Each structure stands twice: as C-alpha cells, then as structure tokens.
Structure 1
Amino acid sequence: MADLPALAARWQRLTTPLVPDAARREVAFLKLTAAYEAPGRHYHTLTHLENLLNRLDAVPLLDAAVVQLAVWFHDAVYNPLKSDNEARSATLALDFLRHSTLEPARQQRVAFLIERTHDHTQPQPADDTDLLYFLDADLSILGASPADYRAYAQQVRQEYRLVPDLLYRPGRRKVLGRMLAAPVLFQTAEFRAELDAAARRNLAAEMEELG
C-alpha cells in the first residue's frame, strides 16, 4: 500500500516552486489520488506511482522535475477498454501546468513523456536518457520476483474484468508476445542488467499459463 503522507509531501516539494496557488496544488493532488485509487484499479494505483518515483530517485535524470510530473500524471486517466488514456492524461497534465511557471517547452515535454508510454515496444530516441529511464521504470514490474509478477498479472486481469476469458487470453498473449519478441525490453543499461532476464522469464511463464 502506498504511503499517502509521503506522496503528499513529495507532491508539495515538486509543485510548490512551480505553482504559486496552494489551493490549485491541493485540488490537483486530491484529484490525482482519487483517480489512482478509483475502485476499478488494481495495478495502476498509487502504489505503482510511488514505485516509479522511488525507482527514478536512484537514476541520474537531467530534468527530474519534468520526469516526476510525467510520473504523477501518466496514468491519471486509465480505462483499459480505451486507447486514448495516455493522450487524455497528457492533456490533464497540460491543464494543470498552464497555471505554473514551468516554461512552455518543458510543459510540452511532460506531455511527450506521458504519450510515449502508449506503446513501450515502439522505437525510442536512443539519446533521450530521461525518457528511457522513465519508460524502464514504468516496466520494472516485469522483472519482479515470480510471486510479485504473478500478483501484477492478476491485478491486470482484474482491471480487465469486463472482458471475458475468450477475448482476454488471446489479447494478453499478443501483448506478451510483442514484448518477448522485442530485441530490447529495457532501454537503459542499468535496468537491462537488473531486470531483463527475470522479465523474460516472467513473461514466458505467463504466456504458458494462458495456454
């Protein structure tokens, strides 16, 4: 379970220098936490958000504020039956940031990072280290222990609870197969060394369980 007071403190440290209006910061925080803790969510929750922030604390980011803002908003909109979640999440981020002192180019950068999470198997710009760390952190659950990965897979299935097995199994197999076929799962050397082998074992095990 996520540490809500710690997350609140992190949000204030991040946004206070950027958004002078304390009430606006508070309303945004409440809306975000409500979104991540919505009843239909089981994996894309505040725990996932907290894990990403903690992961990214340990890597050398060039613009940590922008990456952290992207983390906060990247799953703000999450409907597993829709394909525009990332675009709508990016729009929410921009709606908040237009009241900030963040330069327009950096505001657009936040939106760009969020939108790149739409498909982790798409080619990524090799020199954009902040983006690559962000994407790798977002996928880090794939390299978790077998038990934690199994829990994650079950949580994803719960989020797709309205989809019958007849449709879910082939759809999920397609997603897993695309990731397994990718020559590179993790874009950065640090994440690749730590997680790639375990991630491929976990993905293959889930594929086998799906039949």
Structure 2
Amino acid sequence: MAADATHDILLARWSGLLHRCQEKSYPDPVPFGENLLTRWAEPQRRYHNTSHLLAVLDHVEELAHYCADPDAVRLAAWFHDAVYHPERSENEERSARLAERALPEAGVTAARTAEVARLVRLTVTHDPAAGDTNGEVLSDADLAVLAGPPQAYAAYAAAIRQEYGFVPHDAFREGRTAVLRQLLGLPRLFRTPYGHEHWEPTARFNLATELDLLTV
C-alpha cells in the first residue's frame, strides 16, 4: 500500500477513535493524529513504521471481542511505538509518557489514559497477567507478525536488521539470538484463544528457523 494511502486510512481511523473516546467537545483530533503519524514515519524506522501500526490495529480488530476495553487497546496500539529509537532502551516508557501527556489534552478520561499507558508499558515484556484481557489482545496483535508466511517473516526479520544497522554483525547476532530464545521460552506466545490456536505453531516455527540461521 502506498504511503499516502496508509497515512489517510490511519488518520481517518484515529479521528473516529478519538471522537468516540473524547469526554466532551475538544479540538479537532486531526492535529493529534498528524503528530503521531509524523512520529511513526521517522527515517530510522524500517519495521516499526506506519505499516506496522496499521497491521497491529487490524489485528486488534480481529481480537477485539476478547478484551474489556477495545478502544483503550486501540489507543495503546497507536502509542505503543510512538517513540522509537533503536539505539535506546526506554522507548516503551517514553511512549507511555507521551500517551499520559497527549491523551488528556485530546479529551480522553484519566482512567482510560492510565489504562493506555499501562498497556504501552506492557509491550516491554508481552507478558500480561492472567485475566488481563486488554493486555492479551494488545500483546497478541503486536506479536502477530511472528506468524506470517515465510516471505513476510523474512521481510520482517530483514527490516529489524536494517533498524539495527549501526550494530556490528556479531553483536546483533548475539542480541537477536537472546530475543528469539526468550520468546521461544515463553509457555505461550499468544494469550487469546484465537492467537494461540491460529498463530502459535507458525510463529514458533518461524522463530526457530531464524534462530537456526543465526547460530549455524
């Protein structure tokens, strides 16, 4: 999909979402959306870009019937990588703080803002507590890329490597190997019933294949 078309689709979805979530009449949601989309289109992004955002939002829609507050999860998807610099380790925390600043200004209630920030912070581990249905849906939607067909997964892995192009090969291989092993060590990658049934086997195959390629 062309970048302009992706931008327009996302901006329309943001505007509809924010209108639903606003406590009362507030300024036009478009400038807030444009600010977020500018962030998501920054040049250092090769995977964590507007295409990823749109994919996560689409997966949230697939899984929305599982969670307690779908709109909080949708907002969290918008903010979960809103701050992203590959060389930094505090991206999720900075993204959560951005949500805590921006959403009240946009007219979102304090309770929902707090839930959005909590969900953004959860994407550090993708390990929601039992019964955290909002966390389960966001985590599964963010990790759904792991269950793509081989060509799509290879493109994802290549884009991640491009984002970390400043890291020497051996150091990247060591770090990526640790990430893959951590994911494979989880009892479940996907917490929703749909994700566990439909995505888990393929995701584990893809992760194991990439790990084998990195460790030969």
Instruction: Give the TM-score range, shorter chain.
Output: over 0.9
Aligned ranges for residues 108-123 of structure 1 at < 5 Å?
Answer: 108-120=114-126, 122=127
CA distance in 2, matches of 1:131, 1:45: 21
Structure 1 spans left out of the alignment, 5+ residues? none
Give CA deviations for 1:38-68 in whole Å, capped at 9, x if unaligned. Answer: 1111110111111111111122132122111
CA distance in 2, matches of 1:132, 1:142: 16
Give CA deviations for 1:130-155 in whole Å, capped at 9, x if unaligned. Answer: 21011001000001101100100000
Which shows bigger deviation, 52-61 or 40-49?
52-61
Aligned ranges for residues 1-211 of structure 1 at < 5 Å?
Answer: 1=1, 3-17=6-20, 18=22, 20-22=26-28, 25-59=29-63, 60=65, 61-120=67-126, 122=127, 124-211=128-215
The 3-state SS of whatever aligns with 2:105 is coil
Give CA deviations for 1:99-131 in whole Å, capped at 9, x if unaligned. Answer: 2433212110000000000112x4x21111121
The 3-state SS of whatever aligns with 2:199 is helix
One-letter code aligned to 1:96: A
CA distance in 1, matches of 2:187, 2:198: 16
One-letter code aligned to 2:131: D
Task: Report how far residue 31 of structure 1 moved.
Answer: 1.7
Which shows bigger deviation, 185-194 or 98-107?
98-107
One-letter code aligned to 1:30: E
TM-score scaled by length of structure 1: 0.93
The 3-state SS of whatever aligns with 2:47 is coil
The 3-state SS of whatever aligns with 1:118 is coil
Structure 2 spans left out of the alignment, 5+ residues? none
One-letter code aligned to 2:109: E
The 3-state SS of whatever aligns with 1:58 is helix
Task: Report how far residue 162 of structure 1 moved.
Answer: 0.3
CA distance in 2, matches of 1:97, 1:38: 21
One-letter code aligned to 1:31: N
One-letter code aligned to 2:192: T
CA distance in 2, matches of 1:174, 1:44: 20
CA distance in 2, matches of 1:40, 1:114: 20
Quote the RMSD (CA, aligned, Å). Answer: 1.3
